[in-house]
Chains A and B, each alone.
Chain A
Amino acid sequence: MIGPEIDTAARLGSVSAGNALELRGVTRLFGALAAIADVTLTIRPGERRAVLGSNGAGKTTLFNCITGDVMPTSGTIRLFGEDVTRFPPHERIRRGLRRTYQISLLFSGLSVADNVYLACRGVSRWRFSLLRPRRGDPLLARADELIEAVHLTAARDRLVSELSYGQQRQLEIALALAGAPRLILFDEPAAGLSPTERRELVEILTNLPRHIGFIIIEHDMDVALRVAESVSMMHNGRVFKEGTPAEIENDPEVQALYLGGAHG
């Protein structure tokens, strides 16, 4: 479904001996408020981690630090062995990182096909090219494959502004799958989806190739615990517990904090 591209990420090798992501002591202050404090997190290549916590726990800030939208006040971030703490977002993307957003960030003036094509192009060479792609361009084919993977082939030529909410969320995921991602951050991908759409989402996530790891932020425990192998719980900007989905589900401290959450 999604094959390796000839691009920077693939050249670096998708199997690394080290960790996919390493956060050490990452803190982000906004004035006197610590949105995240002293977060230390390790993700192995291909690992599927869920980051859970109530609103304001710092999950989105964590994502923003990892992608580079926001610089941490202190601490280091290593991506596939490289220190990327001060790198701008596009440099991290070119090293295999991807992200989806809580509120879909799509290109409203362009069609679905154009959106996905741009995503495929972003990490390849010749992204500055003034020449139009020829008929047999491999990236065009790749874009079509991705569109099929997220079940959007019928809406291929429609403008994003004409899509339904659920379709926009599907497109959001397609954009993250473009190129050769090695680690994807999914920010509340299930938000606003119907039960059927949620099942499709779980299917897409569990069927991702094994070499692609991801971190998922979700309020829907159902979705999160079904796709994740390990869970980190955040509260007040700190990671206070880590474990397997089963352990977290049955942990008394977690249950106390989330008073009878989604599971009893």
Chain B
Amino acid sequence: MTPLVGYLLLSAMLFAIGLAGALTRRNAIIVLIGIELMLNAANLNFIAFWRFSEHPEALTGIMFVIFSIGVAAAEAAVGLALIIAIYRHYKTSNVDEMDSLKG
């Protein structure tokens, strides 16, 4: 079986890629995708630590990930609805062009 380090490094790499995307891309949808990738990296950490824990029969890691997936689904729905509403208003989905505070 792959040691815990392998999974933790994979998760750290995914987190860094998501962070880089969220910080550098101009399109709001890609920023949201980057945030989703970071959430998934955290989920992978939960599952890896659960598998390597002393009491995996308590199922805490699995439960945390199930609820985290539910929250992430809600977040994606509301985030994309916001992007669509902003696009209708400003006619752009680039975050660096949404620079006015007036409605």
Decide whether A and B are members of one complex. Answer: no
Measured CB to CB, the residues of A under 8 A from B are none
Measured CB to CB, the residues of B under 8 A from A are none
